[in-house]
Amino acid sequence: MAFTGKYEMESQENFEQFMKIAGLPDDLIERGKDLKSITEIQQNGNTFKIVVTTGAHVITNNFTIGEEAEFEMINLEKVRAVANLEGGNKLVVVLKGVTTISELSGDKLIDTVSAGGVTYKRISKRV
């Protein structure tokens, strides 16, 4: 299943609690909780470029499945990790105790990020 496309956030769960665990300051959490993020994915075989834009904040990650790459985390920290593809529709990356799963389900992109006993979920629709 091809991930390539542009996705606009429809809903999210546990944003504030997760961002506190991620170490973001309260003022950024307050400003960010109502912003709609746009995720753009380019997939060429096992190579991915994912750009997530939330307001003025942009995170870009480039990686190849099964190879170590540098990932930028929500708190802007850069960490080296390996992305894996499970079942053809699920990207899984473990970054310094944070598990990120991006699952494609029809025209929905479901991002689930877990750390410290809190799970943040973001559902986006292909546009």
Q: How far is CA 76 from the centre of its chain?
A: 13
pLDDT at 93: 96
What CATH number has the domain bearing residue 10? 2.40.128.20
Tokens 């689930």 identify what position? 112
The Cα 87–Cα 77 span in angstroms is 29
- pLDDT computed for residue 2 by the predictor: 87
Q: Mean pLDDT across the stretch 57-64?
A: 94
Q: Read off the pLDDT of residues 13-25 as tens digits, 9 standing for 90 and up.
A: 998 888 888 778 8
Distance, CA of 47 to CA of 63 (rounded, Å): 6
Alpha-carbon gap, residue 102 to 90, rounded angstroms: 6
Structural domain range at position 53 = 5-126
Span 77-124, pLDDT tens digits: 899 999 999 998 999 999 888 899 999 999 999 999 998 899 999 999
**65 pLDDT tier (thresholds 50, 70, 90):** very high
Q: How many domains does the chain have?
A: 1
